Structure formats: C-alpha cells, structure tokens
Chains A and B, each alone.
Chain A
Amino acid sequence: MSDKNKPQTIAQKILAYHCGRDHVSEGEIVNADVDIVLGNDITMPIAIEEFDKIGTGRVFNKEKVVIVPDHFAPNKDIKSAQQCKFIREFAREQDIKNYFEVGKMGIEHALLPELGLVLPGNLVVGADSHTCTYGALGAASTGVGSTDVAVAMATSRLWFMVPKTIKFIYSGSLKKWITGKDLILYTIGLIGVDGALYRSMEFVGPVIEKLSMDSRFTMSNMAIEAGGKFGIFEVDGTTEEFLKSRSNGNYKIFKSDPDVEYEKIYNINCSNIELQVAAPHLPSNARNARNLSNVTIDQVVIGSCTNGRMEDLRIAAEILNGRKVDGNVRTIIIPATQNIYLEALKKGYIEIFINSGCAVSTPTCGPCLGGHMGVLAEGERAVSTTNRNFVGRMGHPKSEVYLSGPAVAAASAVAGRIATPEEVM
C-alpha cells in the first residue's frame, strides 16, 4: 500500500490538510498553515518582542490572531498593567479584530469556542498550554511558546511533529455527579503525567457519545496534563448542535480511518468510576473523593478554563442551593466568560452562590496559577476545579491544591473538608 492510501488518524488528516498534502507520517516534521494564533497577557508580550525581531511588520491576518488578557487581568499590579497595556497597543496598531478587553474578556479557552472562533478541522496554536481544549470541537489544537506564536503571527506557518495517537474508549455508564473532569482525572491517574507525551489523545466510545459539550471541553483541556499534544473528539450531533448558532456550517470534518493503527488503545469501563480528586502535587494522583474525607480545607475555587462553564456552575448551584459554605472556607466562583456569567445570573445561580457565602468574580485565570483573586498562604489547602496542583501552583510553595470537578468542590465548600454531594445534601 502506498503511503497515500494508508489509513490515518484525525491528527494526521488535519495536519496533512494544512500543509496541502493527502498524507503525513507519524514522526515526520511538517510546516503547516495555522487557522488561529492565540496569546494572552503573560505570553503575548514575549511573542510581540520576538515578532518585532522577525521584521514582517504586519501579522499575517488580523482576523486570525486572537489576543485575550485573562491571566493577570483585570490588572493585578503595575507590572501586569504594563503588560496588558503593551499587548493592547499592539492589538490596536495591528488592528487585531479578536482582541477582547476587560468587560468583554473571558478565559480564553472558554471564550474562543463560545464565539465560534474555532471550528472543526481547524489547526490552532496558542501560547497557553491549555490550547488543547479545542480538540473537543474536532480541531487539532495545541499549546506552543511565545516564539512559536511570533513566527506564526509573522508567517502563518509553524513546524509540527506529526504525533502518534493513543485511543481511549469509554464504555459503561456514568454514576450520578460524574462529569468530564472525573473521567480525565481518572485517565491521567491511569496513564501518568507523561502517559501521552507528544501523543494525540483520541476520546471515543458510548459514554463519550452521550457526554455534554462542556464535559468534552474539560477533557480536551487536560490532555496536556498527561503530556498530550492534542486531545481530540470526533464531531457528532452534540458538536453540531453547539456550533449551530456559532458558525455558518462552513467547516471540514475529519474522522480517523476505521482501520488506522493506534499506538495504544485503552478500554475504560466508566460504570465503576467514582468522583475523583487529584491529591498534591501531580494531576495524576487521582483518588476516590470519598477516601479523602479527613482532608480539611481553607479555600474552594470553582472556575478556570477547565471548569468555569455552565454545566459546572449548574452543578455547583444545585449543591449550594439553600446551604451555607463552611465558616472556615473561602469559596470563590469564577464564571469563565461574561456570557456564562450573565446566563448564570438569569438562571439564579449567582444569587444562590452569594446567599451561600461565596465570592463571585469577573472572568480571570487569577487563582488557578497563583496570580491573584485567591492566592494561598503557607500551609493552606484548597479544593479547586482547575487543572494543576504542582508545588506552589496557587501560591505559597507550602500550600496544597486538590483538583476536583464542580460537585466535589461545591460539597467540600459546605463541609469544610473534601466531601461528596451525598454527604451534604
């Protein structure tokens, strides 16, 4: 069989399409045209400095460069204000169409899909490791560095190594309260933080077919926590429904060939998966939440590019409704975009949160990376719906982060310790 007719994965097909070929081989380095180049207030300043050195003057396409000040914005200190000012001025100079100022800004990986800026079949790079989130839309999307973004902004092209693919088949049925976060924490626990290093992860199976779009975003988002390059879902009815109001249907759907060879296949029976918590200091330290009920906490964060969407807020509201957060716990809830905030407001969730004693914030990545809006002191412990629990991630090097989905986070806020919803409802 000639290479041209060899079966290919979604990842291979999208990369091949973007370098004008029928086929690319695993391990090969290709130069491909990207559809979207993304940066934020932390990574974009370096990208702009490097872009200026290349000397093309203009970005390759002012519609395809997306800039979102979300990490330390609204500005947390003078230096952050300077960085935001620097990228704002660049956006104005270059007439960047998709620059989102505070007030319109959301957490980038919730915002781009919400606005229909990423579509199936797209090749997307962003100077943020969680750019892999858009794999949920059947896109090949991955985090890169600032220099990569500089080159992509200047030339529209970037080098990629064509990854091998690992397939994850999820079967059985989900217990109550289980969401994409539990599935992905369980998966990372199974394969380790480098279990998918340089690999494309493909998520399939009967459970995935019934999984909500929000849960799919959560799973793709954390592909990087297993070292993954892409975390891809096939486009199906759920994806098309999500895109109906966000696109004109003008996109290309790629599917892996049925007879393609995967590097590895994991069969995961979901029927026994319980609510998961990743204990410090690796996302792969996945445990059943009910086995950690003696862990007392000082703070809960519900939000981030991982879990700041409607499904997460709905679950949190269901648990917090009519209950008070524990007197020793600061609970911070951060809807990921202005639209999500507004919808949560209309549905009465924000009122529930405030009545329970939670602080509700405008969109920001803030506490997830120990930036602002909930930095931890020495010896403090948080349950957080974010994505990383490395040493010092949310503040002091001697603080601790337990990662969970929204159900455990909300229940823990009420209990003052790690808890499942059944224990507080």
Chain B
Amino acid sequence: MIIREKAIKYGDNVDTDVIIPARYLNTTEDRELASHCFEGLDKDFKEKVNERKIIVAGNNFGCGSSREHAPLSIKASGVKAIIASSFARIFFRNAINIGLPVIASSQASDFIQDGDELEIDLNKGEITDVTRDKIFNINPLPEFIQGIIRSGGYVKFTKENIRK
C-alpha cells in the first residue's frame, strides 16, 4: 500500500478534545464528525485537507478521551495516514481498529515540514520526504496488528476469524 500526499504538520500532545470537541459527540455520523475535525486546533484544517492528506505530529498524538469519533472524524475528512513521534495508546488502537494507518517515527516527524510531499510505503516500511529527498525506515508493526490492517479493521478481522 502506497500513500502519496502532502503533509499538514501539528505539534505535541494533540488531544481528542481539539480533534473533535465533546459537544459534537451526540452523533455517530462520520461526515458530520468530519465537519468539526480539528476545530479546536486549526480553523483552516478543512481547507488544508483538500490538498494535503497526511497528518504529521509530535509526541502523544490523540491523548485524552477514548472517543473513536476522533480517528473516525480524521478518516472521514479524507486523511490517508498519520505520522507522529508517538501516539496515545487508545487513539493508536482506535485508528488501527478502524483501518486508519498510524506510523510512529520521531525521526520522520522531526524532519518533515508543513506542506512537504510524502510517500508512505507500508509494505516496504518506508516514508519518503519527496520534497526534501530523504527516506526513513518505519519499524514494522507486530504481526497481529498487521493482520488487522490487512483485513481492513478489527471488525472484519474478527468476522474472518470467527468463521475459521
């Protein structure tokens, strides 16, 4: 799986309250959730995401609440992947479980600048900063988690394994 998109860069500790404020959690409709995505952090996100579909952030991305609405709103906004120095535990699970690729790499996250064009090759385990001609190797995810991603999410993975 190859993702080639431009980067939107954010800082450390991007929390679930700024990704999707709780006042919008009275719905499960993902388009509606997407319309409020990053409202608390970046008013221009909705315009940016038309052109740039990889989020690059610092430490502890997605900290705070367990709301799956957070990765759902990001995914429904059209974001193809998130690269961060590190992820908060529950956000990481949630993203994997709904099939949104999340990649922890502090080297890549430190280097990549806002607007850079990136290519992520999940199979080869590489992130390329095309704009500035630099390649980063990604640590492979554990085999079990790769299985969830290959199935397209935890629900599909579970259905396949129940049948077995």
A interface residues, Cβ below 8 angstroms from B: 29, 42-43, 45-46, 49-50, 53-56, 71-72, 76-77, 79-80, 82-83, 126-129, 131, 143-148, 150-151, 154-155, 159, 161, 193-194, 197-198, 224, 227, 229, 282, 369-371, 375, 388, 390-393, 397
A370 and B23 within 8 A (CB): yes
Given contacts A72-B26, A197-B89, contact A43 B158 (CB under 8 A): no
Query: Is B59 close to A, CB under 8 A?
Result: yes
Given contacts A29-B144, A46-B28, A128-B66, contact A227 B22 (CB under 8 A): no
Query: Is B18 close to A, CB under 8 A?
Result: yes
B159 and A55 within 8 A (CB): yes
B65 partner, pick from A56, A129, A155, beta carbons under 8 A: A129
A391 and B66 within 8 A (CB): no
B40 partner, pick from A42, A43, A143, A397, beta carbons under 8 A: A397
Q: Determine the chain B residues whose CB is within 8 A of the CB of A392 once the complex forms.
A: 17-18, 21, 40
Given contacts A194-B13, A227-B60, A390-B15, contact A370 B21 (CB under 8 A): yes
Query: Is B3 close to A, CB under 8 A?
Result: no
A265→B153 CA distance, assembly (Å): 37
16 A-B contacts (beta carbon < 8 Å): A42-B22, A42-B69, A43-B67, A43-B68, A53-B155, A54-B159, A129-B64, A147-B155, A150-B155, A154-B158, A155-B158, A193-B13, A194-B13, A227-B60, A369-B22, A393-B22
Q: How many A-B residue pairs have CB under 8 A?
A: 138
A109→B50 CA distance, assembly (Å): 40
Chain B residue at smallest Cβ distance from A229: B89
A143 partner, pick from B60, B90, B144, beta carbons under 8 A: B90
B90 and A147 within 8 A (CB): no
CB distance from A88 to the nearest CB of B (A): 15
Chain B residue at smallest Cβ distance from A397: B40
A45→B25 CA distance, assembly (Å): 10
Q: Determine the chain B residues whose CB is within 8 A of the CB of A127 once the complex forms.
A: 66, 68
A37→B142 CA distance, assembly (Å): 25
Q: Determine the chain B residues whose CB is within 8 A of the CB of A390 once the complex forms.
A: 15, 17-18, 40, 64
CB distance from A81 to the nearest CB of B (A): 9
A127→B16 CA distance, assembly (Å): 14
Q: Determine the chain A residues whose CB is within 8 A of the CB of B67 once the complex forms.
A: 42-43, 145
Q: Determine the chain B residues whose CB is within 8 A of the CB of A126 once the complex forms.
A: 66
